[in-house]
Amino acid sequence: MKTRIKEYRAKYNLPQEKLVEMVGVRRETIIFLEQGKYNPSLKLAHNAAKALQATIDEIFIFDTWTRRQRILTSATSEYRIALSNDLGGG
């Protein structure tokens, strides 16, 4: 997942430490959120968006297309294996 937290912090000249205080989490949590390495709970996403005067959808970009591609690729691979097995190829 991608976020626009850093962009919104810059927009409001809001240091990480102030956002940490407003949201009520550790600094590492904000760092991981900004890097897209942490999927927040709904409460955390809400609190972060509220602190940044935005909606959850404005701050957090859910990468649904990539997830769909992974699911389809996995399903296609499984189908090919099953088909190959059915045809005596494996």
48: CATH: 1.10.260.40
**pLDDT digits over 3-21, tens only?**
999 999 999 999 999 999 9
Domain membership flag for residue 30: yes
Does a structural domain hold residue 26?
yes
* Pairwise CA distance, residues 68 & 57, whole Å: 19
- Residue range(s) defining the domain that contains residue 18: 2-63
Q: Give me the pLDDT at residue 83, please.
A: 58
Q: In total, how many domains does the chain have?
A: 1
pLDDT of residue 1: 81
Q: Collect the ranges in the chain with pLDDT lower than 50.
A: none
Maximum pairwise Cα distance, the chain: 64
* pLDDT for 34: 95
Which tokens sit at 73?
Answer: 């690729």
